[in-house]
Structure formats: C-alpha cells, structure tokens
Amino acid sequence: MKYFIPVSEAKKIIESQIFRTEKITVSLLEAQGFFTSEPIFATLDVPSFNNSAMDGYGFRFDDLADFSELKVMHIIPAGVSKNNFELGRGEAVRIFTGAKIPDGVDTVIMQEKVTRIEDRIQFNGNEILKGENIRLKGSQTRLGTKIIEENTFINHAVIGFLSGFGIDKIAVYNKIKIGLLYTGNELVESGKPLLDGEIYNSNSYTLQSALAEINHGFSFINHVEDTEEATFSAIKKSLETIDVLLITGGISVGDYDYVKPALEKSGVSELFYKIRQKPGKPLYFGKLDKKMIFALPGNPASVFSCYHQYIKPFLLGCFGRKDFEEEKDFAISESFAKKKNKDQTQFLKACYSKGKVRILNAQESYKMDSAAQANCFVEFPEKATEINIGEKVTIWRV
C-alpha cells in the first residue's frame, strides 16, 4: 500500500496498470474518435495511375525541339480510363486535372501558359520542364507501404486519407466500460429546487461531458446514499459489470465517508491512497482482478484536476494512446503571489496563449469559475515554493 505519495509516483503506478481493450472492427466512419489497434498498409498505389496535376495540355517534350506549335487532337476529362489513340508527332491533348496521362504524353503545361488558336497551341515563352505537372503513379504511396501506425488517433484527416485507398473497415481498440458512483446526501440534480443546506450536483455532469470528449460514456451513473450499507452495496454491484469504476466523494476520513472501507470490504486492493498535491489530496486508486477503481474527493475542482491528471491519461492509454507529454517552456505573464509547501505539488488552473501563461484567480477546491475559463493547468511542482513573472513552467492542456 502506498500512502500520501508524490505526484510522480502516483502517475507511475497508474501507468503500470494500463491495459489495452479488446480489438474490434468498425466501418471507417464509425472509427471517428477511436485509436487503431494494428498498423494499416496501402491497398494500392496512390496515385494509382499517372495523372495530370493541372487543367492544360499534354504533349511529348521532345517535340518542342522540332515544332513551334502543336495540334490539339483529343480531349481527356477526369474519369476516362482508356484512351484508344496513339499520340502522333507534333500533337497535343487537352487534359484536365486528375485525368489519366495517355501513352506518348510526358509533360503537361497549364492552360494559362499557352495561346490557343482554333485547334493549335503556341507556347508563350515560359520555361518548360520535362515531366512537369504530372502526378506519377505511386508518388504519394506505394502498394504495401505502412500508412498508419498502431495506436493512431482517428480523426477526420485520417478518415479522409484512408478513404483514398478504398479502405472501408479498420481494426480499433474498443471503448472501456466505465461506471460512476457519486455520493453526498446534500446533492440535488439540476432543474430541481434547492432546500436549505443542499447544493447542485455538478461532478457527474463534468465527468459525463469529459468522457464524451474522448469518445466514451458511462455505462451507468448512480447517486449513492451516505450510509455504510448503501455504499458497499453500490460498489459491490458496480464491480460486476465494468472495467473502470469512478467514485466521487466519501473518500476522506469524515464520519460519513464510507467509500474506502466499502472498497476494502469488496475485496479491492489498494494501490495508493492520498497524494501530496492540491487540489485532490485524498485520491484513491485500486484494483479488483482486472477492474480498476478511482475514488476522488467530492470537491468539484478536485474532480476536474484529478480527471485530467490521472483518469483521462489512464483511460486513453487503455483505449490506445501512447504518449502523454507535458509541455514546457511557457512563461508566466503576470505576477502570481501564491506560495506553498515545498513537499506539495499544485495544479493551478490557467490560460495559455502565444507562449505565455496567465494563472487564474479562484484556485480553491470548491471554486469552479476558474475551471470554466482554463485551457491548461500549470504544474507548481514539489520543492518549488513560488512562481515569478517570466519563469518557465510546465503546463498540461485541458
């Protein structure tokens, strides 16, 4: 059991538990937002034939030495697969972008660089290079070449690229089955009136929308009553059906915090409990067989920070992502007067732009107005006790 450990150690423990989800095959359009589970190889040469890069005229380059003008004999639009003619000496073809280059043509000149009089073209003195404006077969990709690595995130650019090879199905890592339990008798759902002493539930909304951004969702979301029996029952039942269980609230040491003892009673092995960080000190990470459990404190800012620092990297790692690099060398643009204990890491909500970072006000764990403005966290690391204007810092994008 690891207790009250540094951030770096917590991240190493979490990273050591990353598992790959099962491989499934989906249609190309369904693959949006997934990660590839195996390399993808070119199914054909691209381009698959020599074609024109311009609307213009195609001809034999060597004819320029003997002819001052060329006679246009044929028209070749895109999409014509066969050209049943043989280009004669002193002849040219009218050709359009993407059209197949016929036998005998080795050069294309764009239409703006010639003068056409009836069926003849004259060149306007521009330098002409042999082979110009022709896209050669396989000049982008050769048949059998690896075109996409395993663990590649699939976005619209990847989909468009693969569709150019006629690929309609690909292998990806499946989504993770995730459940959410949130505790707190004081929590009320949005849209309902508040009684004295109650607050609106925000954590489940934060986490639902956060998962949607990484192409995931919860298998279930349950509000758990703050009793020992209800907490144990909810955890026990949840662990029967999911890969990852998230719990918010009830993980500290108060009289109504039943999550940790309920996890122990359920047979969950504790991998660590509490991190030397702010916000989110009482973060819990454990496992039962191959099922992983994150128990987060209930403060909304703690949930927001812990999700981005620990849960999101873990989930994306299981889903197929490989790299989780922080970004360095961003300079603090304004004075930040806060000091801290040297044994603690803080994650400060901030905004970055053009190499500069502005640390926001309202960093307390119950305040979410700064989270709504932030596009990154500044890591205020262990051993550091203050941050000054112009200082280079590490950021984590939100």
Q: How far apart are CA 142 and CA 391, in angstroms?
A: 48
> What CATH homologous superfamily does 327-397 map to?
MoeA, C-terminal, domain IV (2.40.340.10)
> What CATH class is the domain 3-21+175-319?
alpha beta
Q: How far apart are CA 169 and CA 184, in angstroms?
A: 45
pLDDT in tens, the chain (398 residues): 789 999 999 999 999 999 999 999 999 999 999 999 999 999 999 999 999 999 999 999 999 999 999 999 999 999 987 778 889 999 999 999 999 999 999 999 999 999 999 999 999 887 999 999 999 999 999 999 999 999 999 999 999 999 999 999 999 999 999 999 999 999 999 999 999 999 999 999 999 999 999 999 999 999 999 999 999 999 999 999 999 999 999 998 877 789 999 999 999 999 999 999 999 999 999 999 999 999 999 999 999 999 999 999 999 999 999 877 666 667 888 777 677 888 899 999 999 988 889 999 888 878 889 999 999 999 999 988 888 888 888 899 88
Kindly list the domain boundaries of the chain, sorted by start residue.
Answer: 3-21+175-319, 24-46+140-173, 51-135, 327-397
Q: What pTM was computed for the model?
A: 0.89
The count of residues in the chain is: 398
> What CATH class is the domain 51-135?
mainly beta
- What's the pLDDT at 355? 84
State how far Cα 257 lies from the chain centre: 35
Task: Name the fold adopted by 24-46+140-173.
Answer: Molybdopterin biosynthesis moea protein, domain 2 (3.90.105)
Token duo for residue 330? 């961003």
Q: How far apart are CA 340 and CA 349, in angstroms?
A: 15
Can you point out the beta strands (E) in 264-343? 269-275, 277-278, 284-288, 291-296, 327-332, 336-339
- Scored b (16 or more CB within 10 A) or e, 105-128 reads bbbbbbeebbeeeeeebebeeeee
User: Nearest 10 degrees: CA dihedral of 21, 25, 29, 30?
Assistant: -50
Alpha helix stretches (DSSP H) within the chain: 7-16, 156-163, 203-213, 228-238, 259-265, 300-306, 312-319, 369-373
State how far Cα 69 lies from the chain centre: 55
Beta carbons of 351 and 373 less than 8 angstroms apart: yes
- What's the pLDDT at 161? 97
Q: How far apart are CA 205 and CA 222, in angstroms?
A: 12
